[in-house]
Amino acid sequence: MELVADGNIIRSLNRSELRRKVLFYLLSIYPYRSYLSEISRAVKSDPSNVKGCLEGLGVRYTGEESLMGLGLVAMDQSKSGFKYYKVNNDFVEDVKALKTMFNHKKVFAVEIG
């Protein structure tokens, strides 16, 4: 699947600046992973909002539109119970392309071809 052409992903990232910040922060540290409070500090946002972006949280951040729900971010849990997040290995190049698109201009639509 080519993420750049996925309308759900474009729409979800257009609707939330915080989703973009979290995704692009994780891309900036790839292949490393990060935990919730570290991501929150990096993007200067409340941990509950960041968790919503990552996993979904109620109506504001639905599970389907969360970064994990879209398949962009993967989570692993350590033996001690800490959750770590990183860009999904399968989509690193696609996320780089998305970042380039969003750096040039806000993306409103996807070309269908």
pLDDT digits (tens, 9 = 90+) for 36-46: 999 999 999 99
Q: Mind listing the domains of the chain with CATH numbers?
A: 3-103 (1.10.10.10)
Predicted structure pTM score: 0.81
- Chain Cα centroid distance, residue 62: 13
C-alpha pair distances (Å), 96 with each of 11, 60, 90, 99: 17, 26, 12, 5
Query: Over the stretch 55-111, which tens digit does the pLDDT of each residue have?
Result: 988 776 777 889 999 899 999 988 888 899 999 988 888 888 878 777 765 555 555
With the C-alpha atoms ordered 49, 41, 107, 110, is the resulting torsion angle positive or negative?
negative
Q: Is the pLDDT of residue 7 over 60?
A: yes
